[in-house]
Chains A and B, each alone.
Chain A
Amino acid sequence: MSIPLPLFVAIPLAAAFLLPMFGKKGKSAATVLANMVTLSLLVLAIVTIRQYGAYEVGKWSIPLGIILVRDGLSSLLLLAIGVVSSAAMLFSTRYMEQYTAKAKYLSLFLLMVAGMNGVVLSGDIFNLYVFLEIASIASYALVGFGCEHEELEASFKYMVLGSIASTFILFGIALVYGNTGALNMAYISKAIQDSGVNAGLAFALALFVTGFGLKAALVPFHAWLPDAHPSAPAPISAMLSGILIKTLGVYALARMVFNVFGVSVEIGWLLMVLGLSSMVVGAFLALGQWDFKRLLAYSSISQIGYVILGIGLGATLISQQASLAWASLAILGGLFHLVNHAVYKSLLFLTSGSVEMSTGTRQLREMGGLAERMPITRTTCAVASASIAGVPPFSGFWSKLILVVAAVQARLFWVAAIIVFVSLCTLIMYLKIHRYVFLGEVPRSLEHIKENKGSMLVAMVFLACLCVLMGLLVLVPGLRENVLDPAVQVLTDGVKYSADVMGMTIGT
C-alpha cells in the first residue's frame, strides 16, 4: 500500500490546528486525538519502512517545485521520531495535568512533530529551513511553557542562540542559491559536483556546520542545552534531548555534508574533533551536576558527541579511499547510537519527570531511597542507565562496541580509548543518580510518596522494553537490512544522492 509522503507532515499539522478548537470541555477528547495522531504516525512509519521515493508537491516537477524525498536515512529518523513522540505524548496525558492550557501544549507538541517530520522528508534546502523553524519555534515556546523564572530565562537563551543558528543557516542557503542557482538538494549536489567547491560554497558549508552545530549543541556551541532541556516539562525534555537535536542538528548536518557537498578529509576531521570534544566536555560537566535533569542534559551533549564522532569517522574513511566496509561500520555505529540515544535518553527524562512529579524536587541531594516507593520508575531508570553506560546485553553496548571496532580498524587507537573512557564516566554519573535518588535513606519529607500510575508507566515500560530489545536491530540480519543498512547506505553513497533522487522523480 502506498502512502503519500506529505501525510507525515499534514496529519500532525492539521491536528495541531484542530485541537485548540475543542476548548476547555473537550480536553480529554483533544488528548485522545493527539495520542492517536502520534501513534498513527509511528504505525505509518513502521508499515512503510521500505517505501522509498520522491513526492512532487502540487504536481510541480523538481527544478520548479518542492519535493519530499524519503530514503533510508529519512525512514530511520521517521521511525525514531514516531517512537519518541508517541511515548512522550502518552506520558504527557497524565503529566501535563499539572499545567494549565493543555490544549495549547498538545498543539505545540504536534507542531514540533510536524516540523521534525518535515525536516527529515524535505528534499529542498529552503523547505528544510522552513520546517526547521517550525520545529524550533514550537520548541522555544514549549521550553518556556511553565512561565516561571527559570523557564523564561532558559527559553530566552535558547531562543537567541536558536535564532542566530537559523540566521546562519539562512545565510548559507542564500550563498548556495547564489552560487548554484538551485534550491533542490539533488540539483545543488549536481552543480557542486560539476563546478567544484568555490570560496562562497566553502563559506556556506562553514555557516551550515555552525548553524546545525548550534542546533545539535556540539561543544563549542552547547551553552543553551543544559538550561533549555531541564527547564522544559519532562515529556518535552524527552523530545528535545531524544530527537529534536538529532533531527535539526545531526540529520541536517549529515545530509548537507555527505549528500549535498560531498565529504572530504578536512570536514571528516572537523566532525570528529567536534564529536570528541562534545563527548569529553559533556561527560566531565555532567559528573559535577546535582540537578537530576541538568545532569541528563549534559549527558546528552556527551552522547551526541558519539553520533557525530561515528559520522565524522565514516566521512574521513570514505574520503581517504580506505576500506568502505569500515567506513560504513563507523556510520552504522553513529546512526545506531543515534536511535539508541533517542530511546534511552527520552526514557531517562521521563523517569526524571516521574520522580519530579512525585517528590516535587530535582535536586539529587534532597532525594533518596525511592527504590521501594517507586519500583517501576526505578527499574526503567536502571535499564536506561545500563543501556546508556554500555552494559552488555542492552542497546548502548552494541553501538559503542561498533564505534570502538571502527576506530581500531581506522588505526585511531586513541579515539577508541576516549570512547571507552567516556563510557566509564557515563557509568559513574548514572551510578551517582542511582545512589542519590533510589538508594540510601528516605528523607523525612518524602516518606508518603507513591508511584505514579497509568499512562506514565505504560510509556516508561514501553521505552524500557525497547532499550532491552534494540540490540536485535544489529544482531538480527533481517531487521538490520530493513532499518539500519539503508540509512548507512545513503550516507556512504554520498553525492550519488542527486542521481538517486532524480531517478526517483522520473520513476513516479
Chain B
Amino acid sequence: MPYALCFLLFMIGLYCVVVKKNMVKIVIGILVMEYAVNLFLIMLGYRMGGVAPIVGQSELDPSTGGLLSSFLNASVDPLPQALVLTSIVISLGSLALMISVCVRVYGKYGTFDITEIRRLKG
C-alpha cells in the first residue's frame, strides 16, 4: 500500500510536468517525481520497528569489538539511504541549474509561460 502511494505521488509529479504551463511549476513537478522515487527507495530498506543504522558505543560488542548481532537484526537497510543521499545531491545540482535557466529565460522573454516561449519550431 505505501508503495502504491509512492507511485501515486510519482504520477502527480508527472501530471504536473505534463499539464502545467508555468516553468517553475514544471520544475516543482520534476522535484515531486524525484521525491517520490526517494521515498520509494527509503521504504524499500525499511522494516517494522527497525532502528537507525548508526553505530555508537552501545552497539559494539565489548568482547570482540564487532557489531552486536541484535543490532544487525534490528537495523534498517542502510544502502538505500546512501543511494537517496546521492540522488538528493544530484537533484540539488540539476535543480540549481534548472532554476537558473528559469531565471535567465525570464530575463530574456519576460514570462514564465511556456506557451509563449516558442521560438524553436519544426
Chain A residues with CB under 8 Å of chain B are 126, 129-130, 133, 136-137, 140-141, 144, 147-150, 152-157, 159-160, 163-164, 166-167, 170-171, 174, 177-178, 183, 226-227, 231, 285, 288-289, 291, 294
Mask of B2-20 contacts with A, CB within 8 angstroms, 1/0: 0000000010011001000
Complex Cα gap A136–B30 (Å): 15
Question: Complex formed: what's the CA distance from A12 to B49 in Å?
Answer: 45
In this complex, the member of A144, A148, A160 whose beta carbon has the largest number of chain B beta carbons within 10 angstroms is A160
CB-contact partner of B41 in A149, A164, A174, under 8 A: A174
Q: Closest residue of chain B to A130, judged by CB?
A: B86
- Is B104 touching A137 in the complex (CB atoms < 8 A)? no
Quick one: given A133-B94, A152-B104, are A164 and B14 in contact (CB under 8 Å)? yes
Complex formed: what's the CA distance from A154 to B90 in Å? 21
Whether the pair A137, B94 counts as a contact (CB closer than 8 A) is yes
Question: Which residues of chain B are within 8 angstroms of A150 by Cβ–Cβ distance?
Answer: 119-120
Question: Which B-chain residue is minimally distant from A175 (CB atoms)?
Answer: B40
12 A-B pairs with CB atoms under 8 Å apart are A129-B87, A133-B94, A140-B94, A147-B104, A152-B105, A154-B120, A159-B101, A160-B26, A167-B33, A170-B34, A177-B41, A291-B122
In contact, B94 and A149 (Cβ under 8 angstroms): no
A153–B115 CA distance with the chains assembled, in angstroms? 11
Return chain A residues, CB-CB under 8 Å to B53: none
Interface centre among A150, A156, A163, A227 (most CB of B within 10 A): A163
Min CB–CB distance A108 → chain B (angstroms): 11
- How many B residues face the partner with a CB closer than 8 A? 35
User: How many angstroms from the CA of A150 to the CA of B108 in the assembled complex?
Assistant: 10
| Pair B93/A164 contact, Cβ less than 8 Å | no
Which chain B residues border A164 with CB–CB below 8 Å? 14, 17, 30, 33
Which residue of the partner chain, among A136, A141, A171, A183, contacts B37 with CB atoms under 8 Å? A171
| Chain B residues, Cβ within 8 Å of A130 | 86, 90
Q: B101 to chain A: which residues have CB within 8 Å?
A: 140, 144, 152, 155-156, 159
Q: Does B51 touch A at the CB level, under 8 Å?
A: no
Are A153 and B120 in contact, with the CB atoms below 8 A?
yes
Task: Tell me whether B67 is interfacial, beta carbon within 8 Å.
Answer: no
Query: Are the CB atoms of B40 and A148 closer together than 8 Å?
Result: no
B74 on the interface (CB 8 Å rule)? no
Q: Beyond A159-B94, A163-B94, A167-B34, is A149–B108 a contact (Cβ under 8 Å)?
A: yes
A294-B83 Cα distance, complex, nearest whole Å:
38
Interface of B is mostly: helix
Contact A177 B44 (CB under 8 A): yes
CB-defined contacts of A133 to chain B, threshold 8 Å: 90, 93-94
Report which of B14, B90, B105 forms a contact with A156, defined as CB distance below 8 A: B105
Please name the residue on chain A nearest to B18 by beta carbon. A164
Contact A289 B120 (CB under 8 A): no
Of A136, A171, A294, the contact of B10 (CB 8 Å cutoff): A171
CA distance in complex: A91, B100 (Å):
28
Are A149 and B109 in touch, CB under 8 angstroms? yes
**Interface flags, B102-120, vs A, CB<8A=1, else 0:** 1011001100000001111
A152 touches B26 (CB 8 A): no
A147–B93 Cα distance when bound, in Å, is 19
Task: Contacts A171-B37, A174-B37 given; indicate if A156 touches B108 (C-beta within 8 A).
Answer: no
- Hey, which chain B residues are within 8 Å of A294, CB to CB? 122
Q: Smallest CB-CB separation from A158: which chain B residue?
A: B101
Residues of A within 8 A of B13 (CB): 167
Given A149-B108, A167-B30, also A159-B97 (CB < 8 A): yes
Name which residue of chain B comes closest to A134, CB basis.
Answer: B90
Contact B44 A174 (CB under 8 A): yes
Please give me the residue from chain A that is nearest to B32 by CB atom: A167
